[in-house]
């Protein structure tokens, strides 16, 4: 579905005149690789892979700004000073795009998943601004009081809110690449907006969304207190977990792959990905399983290839 493609989200935010002006768009386009730069200012970046130079320019502007004073000479023009805020607002708006649709997950997928998580007390970690999954969990026992899934937010975010009173009844819900719902209040405290209020954050310059070239994801994570804590808890979760299930993961996040290799080299990893004609033949299945073993540096991989990811309802605790 086009709505859920990153290219559509990047273009949607690009088209919003309240997020970027034409000067800022021109500056962004200059940061794209030479082979993808378009003459048409109406055309937005299309992928995370194109954002390498943009992230480096953003980091440079941040560093220069640290050394400037109000009464001294400036290394940056007014456009340069505004650039980091504009970029972070643009990336936040792109992530918010996925929270603006009318779509929901079917009960046939959600109900068995919720039951599995509740019965097994499994941890949940997501990568890409999981509005559909989050919305599906909100009114279930998984978010009932302080009983099961912990994401660190009570009234505000605090790492102490993720301390489990009982490992037998509580587990983690880790938005590893952040969420457009996360924001800093005027006093610096960290909060989570309701899903209906995400539009109120339009133009917000977020440091809690990971939308960049893979080489820069670790540094973006390190800049957010929320995301730093999530990745710390992820290692704790991986260390105590017997098996890992990856649903709809493409395998391109090097940071995550290294952790999987560290904690699951000798454990079982299950892959759920959409079927491909090649996987129907034994040779194609073996090639794909070999791909995952190599990509994740693990010894044991079990794969499920449904025609539609949402058709998968067979979870480990049912075996």
> Over the stretch 284-297, which tens digit does the pLDDT of each residue have?
999 999 999 999 99
Residue 280's pLDDT is: 83
Contacts 24+ apart (CB under 8 A), 56-65: 56/216, 57/31, 57/83, 58/83, 58/84, 58/87, 58/88, 59/216, 59/219
Residue 23's pLDDT is: 92
Residue 145's pLDDT is: 63
Indicate the domain borders of the chain: 2-99, 107-318
267 vs 36: which has the higher pLDDT:
267
Residue 76's pLDDT is: 86
pLDDT in tens, 84-129: 999 999 999 999 999 988 899 999 999 999 999 988 889 999 998 7
Residue 146 has pLDDT above 80, yes or no: no
Beta-sheet pairing, 243-247 with 190-192: unpaired
Residue 85's pLDDT is: 92
Residue 318's pLDDT is: 45
Which residues are CB-neighbours of 261 under 8 A, at least 6 positions away? 296, 297, 298
Whether 310 contacts 105, CB under 8 Å: yes
Residue 7 has pLDDT above 60, yes or no: yes
pLDDT in tens, 58-87: 999 989 988 877 777 788 888 888 899 999
Residue reference for tokens 């995370």: 48
Residue 37's pLDDT is: 64
Residue 166's pLDDT is: 81
pLDDT in tens, 249-298: 999 898 899 999 999 999 999 999 999 998 888 899 999 999 999 999 99
Residue 33 has pLDDT above 90, yes or no: no
- Residue whose C-alpha is closest to residue 201's, from 318, 313, 99, 71: 99
How many Å apart are CA 18 and CA 116, to the nearest integer? 43
Beta-sheet pairing, 182-184 with 190-192: antiparallel
In sequence order, what are the beta bridge partners of 172? 150
Apex 161 CA angle, 160 and 163, nearest 5: 65
Apex 247 CA angle, 319 and 249, nearest 5: 145
Mean pLDDT over each residue of the chain, to the nearest integer: 90
Angle, helix 282-296 to helix 254-264, in steps of 10 degrees: 90
How many Å apart are CA 23 and CA 25, to the nearest integer? 5
Residue 317 has pLDDT above 60, yes or no: no
Residue 319 has pLDDT above 50, yes or no: no
């Amino acid at each position: 579905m086009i709505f859920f493609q990153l290219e559509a989200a990047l273009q949607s935010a690009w088209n919003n005149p309240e997020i970027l002006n034409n000067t800022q768009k021109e500056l962004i386009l200059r940061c794209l690789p030479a082979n993808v730069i378009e003459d048409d200012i109406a055309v937005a970046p299309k992928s995370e892979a194109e954002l390498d130079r943009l992230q480096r320019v953003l980091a440079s502007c941040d560093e220069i700004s640290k050394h400037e004073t109000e009464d001294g000479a400036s290394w940056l023009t007014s456009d340069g000073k505004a650039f980091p805020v504009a970029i972070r607002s643009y990336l936040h708006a792109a992530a918010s795009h996925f929270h603006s649709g009318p779509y929901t997950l079917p009960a046939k997928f959600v109900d068995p998943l919720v039951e599995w998580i509740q019965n097994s007390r499994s941890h949940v970690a997501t990568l890409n601004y999981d509005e559909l999954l989050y919305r599906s969990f909100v009114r279930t026992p998984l978010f009932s009081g302080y009983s099961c899934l912990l994401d660190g937010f009570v009234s505000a975010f605090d790492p102490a809110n993720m301390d489990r009173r009982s490992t037998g009844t509580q587990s983690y819900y880790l938005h590893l690449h952040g969420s457009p719902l996360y924001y800093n209040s005027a006093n610096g405290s960290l909060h989570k907006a309701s899903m209906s209020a995400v539009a109120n954050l339009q133009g917000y310059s977020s440091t809690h969304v990971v939308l960049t070239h893979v080489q820069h994801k670790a540094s973006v994570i390190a800049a957010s207190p929320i995301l730093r804590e999530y990745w710390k808890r992820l290692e704790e979760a991986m260390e105590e977990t017997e098996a890992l299930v990856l649903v709809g993961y493409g395998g391109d996040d090097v940071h995550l792959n290294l952790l999987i290799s560290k904690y699951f080299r000798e454990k079982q990893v299950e892959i759920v990905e959409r079927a491909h004609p090649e996987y129907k033949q034994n040779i194609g299945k073996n090639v794909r399983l070999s791909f995952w073993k190599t990509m994740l540096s693990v010894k044991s991989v079990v794969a499920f290839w449904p025609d539609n990811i949402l058709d998968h309802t067979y979870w480990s605790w049912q075996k």
